Structure 1
Amino acid sequence: MHRPPRHRRHHDTVAVATYCYTGTNGQWWSFDDAWSIQKKTEYIKAKGLLGGMIWEMSGDTGVLMTALDNGLR
């Protein structure tokens, strides 16, 4: 059985990005989670923008769309 690599989620408060890294010679990912969506929707509202763009959310279980909906209210 194949086991996915272990990783820990990190939040970069300057870049407003979520990322994880699986360790030496491992893999690195950057992605949005509820935290980053909250920060980005705060920016959208603070700047008076009319919305944002989403590239792909096929793996979302509803957590991301809920964060987006709540953040833009």
Structure 2
Amino acid sequence: MRRPHRGFVVALVAGIVALTGSLHGQEAQEQGSGYPAADWPFAGGDWTGSRHSTLTDISTETIDRLGGA
């Protein structure tokens, strides 16, 4: 039985490490976590573009008091 070449083994390990890192990045992106919702560091609010805000100043009770910006 032949032993695998060292270069192949190194490339295989590097590929596995890169794959696990990219999967972790996708999970964080899907959750939209990592930044407070009040800061809106991205267009659309968060990684997922949900445009959700935790602010409660504008609601159905206060909508009649809104003015021009």
- TM-score of the aligned structures, taking structure 1 as reference length: 0.26
- TM-score of the aligned structures, taking structure 2 as reference length: 0.27
* Higher gyration radius (CA): 2
**Which protein has the bigger strand share?**
1
